[in-house]
Amino acid sequence: MELNSLTNTPGARERRKRVGRGCGSGMGKTSCKGQKGQQSRKGHKHKLVFEGGQMPLMRRLPKRGFNNARFNDKALGVNVSDLEKSFEAGAEVTVETLAKAGFADNKKPLIKVLGNGELTKKLTVKVPCSAAAKEKIEKAGGTVA
């Protein structure tokens, strides 16, 4: 490759369209913005669902039914294998210690220990546990409060 063989990519040197520069340019008078109205004004921006001021479709349709998903709080699952990696033997597992370990935050204290993985350390767990997790914790010599 040599310097004299370099060329611009197609479209790299095209000038921008200058509108509103007289009727002889073919893009004068209304500057390609049609006639009068909100869309022809300077700084015109509106929301994607804006319908020109008429009542939007989502507000015209009636609201029906009830959805419980807004009120349904799901517990955050922490596996026994995660406790094995993050806690020393004899440690106490609470919502605060799990938050410090990075598994949850104190704003959402709904946590449940699940039985996935193996546990060899003796831990004191003060968080709700599944039956399989409780069995594995007690098998390792720990307690579930």
What residue ranges of the chain have pLDDT lower than 70? Answer: 106-108
Q: Which CATH number do you get for residue 90?
A: 3.100.10.10
C-beta separation of 81 from 116 below 8 A: yes
The whole-model pTM stands at 0.52
Report how many domains make up the chain: 1
The reported pLDDT for the residue numbered 107 is 67
Task: Specify if 137 maps to a domain.
Answer: yes
**In-domain check, residue 125:** yes
Q: Which pLDDT does position 106 carry in this prediction?
A: 66
What range defines the domain where residue 120 resides? 77-144
User: Would you state the pLDDT for residue 108?
Assistant: 67
Residue at 126 is within a domain: yes
In a domain, 88, yes or no: yes
Neighbour order of strands in the sheet with 92-93: 92-93, 124-125, 143-144
Q: Per the domain annotation, does 10 fall within a domain? A: no
- Would you say residue 44 lies in a domain? no
Dist CA 9 CA 5 (whole Å) = 13
